């Protein structure tokens, strides 16, 4: 059955007991790779879910960690909405669910919190259906996640891990996944205030110059080569430069862009993480102290690694 085009739903066998899903945070753009590049990071949202009844009904939802007390606890919760979309894509009658979310990924900080919610919901729903992987492939799951999110750059690494290049061809989303060299040290500076992605996107111009497009094309190619190990790490400062989106967002997040500029002047390849306002440093070993020295007051510093696996099912916590 082509689950993507399924219109009718059916009753199926569900997993006995709960399933647990872990999904990584992601950073998109990475400077010049606007709406294309994404990187999975070792900061996680965990979801435990189970079927309460095979009849559709109001869910039972709890949230701990990031977003607790802020996100809805009804059927409009994004993880729950994604699960319903997955059941429908698989041709399965959506059941009544229990959903427990424990979040580490900050909301509205440019670290892929909405992508994490969407991907974890789709994966959790597929995991609850006993023949879910046979009904619905990883790539089909990625495509639906991208369509729900509206763009593929965050959901691609959330699904597949590593460094991803996501794009659209023949009205379908595609991606290439690459491993990242082990000596890249992702460091993330996270402020205490959010920035809505829609607001950040609204600052962008409708067109850019040919020269700026060429500039970014060259830097994107250099960046992919450097992160995958084909070029020395010293190239990363030049390779992570951008003219397509970051300069236009400076007015809305001056402290963020000041930190980016200061770090880059100090030799650290720093960029806006996604739509901001967090800062991602693609540091070399030994640059941690430099990043800490440029951490704005009140901001958190996360010393992370690249997550190579993406979303996965794991043992249910005891």
Q: Per residue in 67-87, pLDDT tens?
A: 999 999 999 999 999 999 999
Residue 1, pLDDT > 70, answer: no
Q: What is the dihedral of CA 156, 41, 51, 19, to 10 degrees?
A: 120
pLDDT at residue 4 tops 60: no
pLDDT in tens, 29-62: 999 999 999 999 999 999 999 999 999 899 999 9
pLDDT tens figures, 183-217:
999 999 999 998 777 777 788 889 999 999 999 99
pLDDT class for 116, splitting at 50, 70, 90? very high
220-257 burial, b for 16+ CB within 10 Å, e for fewer? bebbbebbeeebebebbbebbbbbbbbebbeebbeebb
Q: Which helix (H) or strand (E) holds 101?
A: strand 96-103
Domain ranges of the chain: 3-175+307-314, 185-303
Q: Quickly state the pLDDT bin for 6 (edges 50, 70, 90).
A: very low
3-class secondary-structure state, position 305: coil
Would the CATH topology of 3-175+307-314 be identical to that of 185-303? no
Q: What percent of the chain has pLDDT above 90?
A: 89
> What does the pLDDT read at residue 78?
98
Number of neighbours of residue 105 by Cβ within 10 angstroms: 24
Which residues contact residue 120 at a Cβ distance below 8 angstroms, ignoring those fewer than 6 apart?
A: 21, 22, 23, 45, 47, 79, 82, 311
Please say whether the dihedral angle defined by the alpha carbons of residues 238, 25, 118 and 201, taken in this order, is positive or negative.
Answer: negative
> What is the per-residue pLDDT for 2?
44
Q: What's the pLDDT at 3?
A: 41
What's the confidence (pLDDT) of residue 81?
Answer: 98
Over the chain, what is the mean pLDDT?
94
Q: What is the pTM of this model?
A: 0.94
CATH class given for the domain over 3-175+307-314: alpha beta
Q: Which CATH number fits domain 185-303: 3.90.1150.10, 3.40.50.2300, 3.30.470.20, 3.30.70.890?
A: 3.30.70.890
Residues in the chain: 318
Query: What is the share, in percent, of the chain residues with pLDDT greater than 70?
Result: 96
Q: What is the pLDDT of residue 9?
A: 62
Residues comprising the binding site? 106-116
Q: How far apart are CA 275 and CA 196, in angstroms?
A: 8
Summarised one tens digit per residue, pLDDT across range 121-151 is 999 999 999 999 999 999 999 999 999 999 9
| Bind-site residues for ATP | 106-116
| pLDDT score, position 12 | 83
């Amino acid at each position: 059955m082509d689950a993507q085009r399924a219109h009718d739903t059916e009753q199926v066998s569900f997993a006995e007991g709960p399933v647990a899903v872990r999904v990584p945070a992601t950073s998109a753009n990475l400077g010049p790779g606007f709406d294309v590049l994404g990187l999975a990071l070792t900061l996680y949202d965990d979801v435990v879910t189970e079927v309460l009844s095979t009849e559709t009904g109001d869910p039972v939802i709890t949230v701990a960690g990031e977003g607790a007390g802020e996100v809805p606890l009804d059927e409009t919760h994004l993880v729950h909405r994604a699960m319903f979309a997955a059941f429908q894509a698989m041709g399965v009658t959506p059941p009544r669910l229990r959903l427990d979310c424990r979040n580490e990924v900050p909301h509205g900080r440019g670290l892929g919190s909405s992508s994490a919610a969407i991907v974890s919901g789709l994966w959790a729903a597929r995991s609850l259906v006993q023949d879910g992987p046979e009904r619905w492939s990883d790539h089909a799951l990625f495509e639906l996640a991208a369509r729900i999110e509206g763009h593929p750059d965050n959901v691609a690494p959330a699904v597949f891990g590593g460094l991803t290049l996501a794009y659209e061809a023949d009205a379908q989303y595609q991606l290439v996944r690459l491993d990242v060299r082990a000596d890249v040290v992702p460091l993330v500076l996270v402020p205490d205030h959010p920035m809505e992605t829609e607001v950040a996107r609204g600052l962008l111009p409708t067109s850019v110059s040919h020269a700026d497009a060429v500039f970014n094309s060259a830097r994107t190619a250099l960046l992919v080569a450097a992160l995958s190990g084909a070029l020395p790490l010293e190239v990363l400062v030049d390779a992570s430069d951008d003219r397509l989106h970051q300069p236009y967002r400076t007015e809305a997040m001056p402290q963020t862009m000041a930190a980016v500029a200061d770090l880059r002047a100090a030799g650290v390849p720093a960029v806006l993480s996604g739509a901001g306002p967090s800062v991602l440093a693609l540091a070399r070993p030994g640059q941690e102290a430099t990043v800490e020295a440029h951490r704005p007051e009140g901001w958190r510093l996360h010393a992370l690694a690249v997550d190579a696996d993406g979303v996965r099912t794991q043992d249910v916590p005891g």
